[in-house]
């Protein structure tokens, strides 16, 4: 409980909230209460991570942990946990500055609904402070997205997500759209077309 920082894939991951505007059918948190970090390439000696929070962290809660870490061991600081990190974007922005001051790149794994969640446009600020903005595309049309992701924004969620990705690209952000490999092949092809159309990259990720 209250794991704010964890390490997998040679990266530092930051877990800021359990709130999410989506309830994706494939999301790991729907099936696992504890993540076995060793399955995801954790460093030796690091293993299970309970990513459920009973209290969201402050800036100091996170940096007190980070201050004890050897950043030379890691490639990126990634904002990703059992919730939507952009829901706490002010803290993401502060911690991104902390990372850059120590020479480490930043990435956010986001559902692209942060501006809608917060009621303000955060795309320009995100494009400025995050090195890689990984937006979960997940599907290629509003109906398929709603069926898979069950967003609180309903059928509007797909366009909210895609408009956010477009705005991040427009503001100079390095945007990667991602989609899980369990979708039909024709959706993968359409996803590639969508990514090209907005000037983003596409990453097909394995279903965990």
- Provide the number of structural domains found in the chain: 1
| Spatial distance between the Cα atoms of 34 and 45, rounded to a whole number of angstroms | 16
Which residue matches tokens 């293993």? Answer: 47
- Tell me what the mean pLDDT of segment 3-21 comes to: 96
pLDDT in tens, 147-168: 999 999 999 999 999 999 999 9
How many angstroms separate the CA atoms of 85 and 21, rounded?
11
pLDDT tens-digit series, residues 16-39: 999 999 999 888 877 665 665 444
**How many percent of the chain have pLDDT more than 90?**
80
Rounded to whole angstroms, how far apart are CA atoms 154 and 158? 8
Q: Is 143 helix (H, G, I), strand (E, B) or coil?
A: helix
**41 pLDDT above the threshold of 50:** no
Check: CB of residue 114 under 8 Å from CB of residue 86.
yes
pTM of the model: 0.91
What is the structure's pLDDT at 57?
98
CA distance 20 to 150: 11
Distance in angstroms (rounded) separating the CA atoms of residues 36 and 162: 32
Mean pLDDT to the nearest integer, 111-119 = 99
Secondary structure (DSSP) of 100-142? HHTT-EEEEEE-S-HHHHHTS--HHHHHHH-SEEEEE---SSH
- Residues 27-54 have a mean pLDDT of 65
Domain extent for 74: 5-205
What is the predicted pLDDT for the residue at 184? 84
Is the model's pLDDT at 123 over the cut of 50? yes
Q: Which residue has the higher pLDDT, 38 or 128?
A: 128
Q: pLDDT digits over 171-190, tens only?
A: 999 999 999 887 788 889 99
Q: Which domain CATH number covers 89?
A: 3.20.20.70
Q: Is the model's pLDDT at 43 over the cut of 50?
A: no
């Amino acid at each position: 409980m209250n794991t704010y920082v964890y390490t997998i894939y040679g990266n530092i991951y930051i877990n800021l909230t359990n709130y999410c505007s989506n309830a994706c059918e494939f999301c790991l948190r729907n099936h696992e209460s504890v993540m076995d970090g060793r399955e995801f390439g954790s460093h030796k000696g690091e293993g299970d991570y309970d990513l459920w929070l009973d209290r969201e962290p402050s800036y100091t809660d996170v940096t007190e942990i980070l201050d004890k870490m050897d950043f030379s061991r890691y490639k990126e600081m990634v904002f990703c946990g059992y919730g939507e990190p952009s829901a706490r974007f002010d803290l993401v922005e502060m911690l991104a500055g902390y990372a850059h001051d120590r020479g480490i790149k930043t990435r956010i794994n986001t559902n692209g609904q942060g501006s809608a969640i917060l009621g303000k446009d955060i795309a320009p600020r995100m494009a400025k402070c995050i090195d890689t903005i990984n937006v979960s595309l997940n599907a290629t049309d509003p109906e398929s997205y709603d069926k898979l992701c069950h967003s609180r924004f309903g059928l509007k969620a797909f366009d909210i997500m895609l408009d956010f990705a477009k705005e991040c690209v427009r503001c100079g952000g390095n945007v990667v759209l991602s989609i899980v490999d369990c979708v039909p092949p024709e959706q993968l092809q359409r996803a590639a077309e969508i990514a090209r159309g907005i000037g983003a990259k596409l990453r097909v990720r394995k279903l965990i």
